Structures are given as structure tokens and as C-alpha cells.
């Protein structure tokens, strides 16, 4: 089953986070992920608001988790860890 990678982000260091974004995109694509939404307009209806929201679709939950654990994504993530506050989850879809 396909899966969605859903991130809610507050960027605290734009320059460092730009390095993350440059590296994360190819790592996600290498695992079959494609972006459905990235920093687009949104309406927060419940919970903590984060100004940046990202949704990527992967062929499976396992592909998304493998991407997260990959050396390429972990390298990208090293630039985001001190440059943002984030929540990230992977959720299987029904189609």
C-alpha cells in the first residue's frame, strides 16, 4: 500500500534548512517518493500550527521508512536538526 510522509515544520535557521532541503529532495526521490505538497497554503484546524507542511507519497510505508533511515537522508537531516522544530510521520493510504 502507498504511504504518505507528513512533516510539520517551523524553520529556525533558513540557511541551514536550505541545505537540508537541497539534499532531502534527491534522497526522497531515490526511494520512490514524490512531493504532493511542500510549503503550500494551509488552514490549521486543530493542534500546534507549524508554518511549513510537507507531504510526500511513497510506494509503501517500508520505502518511506527506508528513505528516512538511508545515509543520504540522514546526511540531509543533520542540517535540519538544529535548524528547525519538526514532527514527521508516515501513514499508509487506502489506495
Tens of pLDDT, residue by residue over 18-38, are 999 999 999 999 999 999 999
pLDDT at position 34 is: 98
Whole-prediction pTM: 0.92
What CATH number did the domain enclosing 20 receive? Answer: 3.30.70.100
Q: How many domains does the chain have?
A: 1
Q: Name the DSSP letter for residue 59.
A: S
Q: How far apart are CA 50 and CA 65, in angstroms?
A: 22
Backbone torsion region of residue 45, taken as left when φ is above 0, otherwise alpha when ψ lies between -120 and 50, otherwise beta: alpha
The pLDDT-based confidence of 95 (bands split at 50, 70, 90) is confident
Q: Which residue range is the domain that position 60 belongs to?
A: 3-92
pLDDT tens digit string along 34-72? 999 998 999 999 999 999 999 999 999 999 999 999 999
Q: How far apart are CA 89 and CA 6, in angstroms?
A: 5
Handedness of CA 40, 45, 46, 49 (dihedral sign): positive
Amino acid at each position: 500500500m502507498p504511504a504518505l510522509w507528513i512533516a510539520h515544520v517551523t524553520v529556525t535557521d533558513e540557511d541551514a534548512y536550505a541545505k537540508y532541503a537541497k539534499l532531502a529532495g534527491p534522497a526522497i526521490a531515490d526511494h520512490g517518493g514524490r512531493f504532493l505538497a511542500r510549503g503550500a497554503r494551509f488552514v490549521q484546524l486543530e493542534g500546534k500550527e507549524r508554518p511549513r507542511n510537507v507531504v510526500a507519497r511513497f510506494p509503501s510505508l517500508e520505502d518511506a521508512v527506508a528513505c528516512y533511515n538511508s545515509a543520504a537522508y540522514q546526511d540531509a537531516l543533520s542540517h535540519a536538526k538544529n535548524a528547525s522544530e519538526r514532527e514527521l510521520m508516515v501513514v499508509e493510504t487506502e489506495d
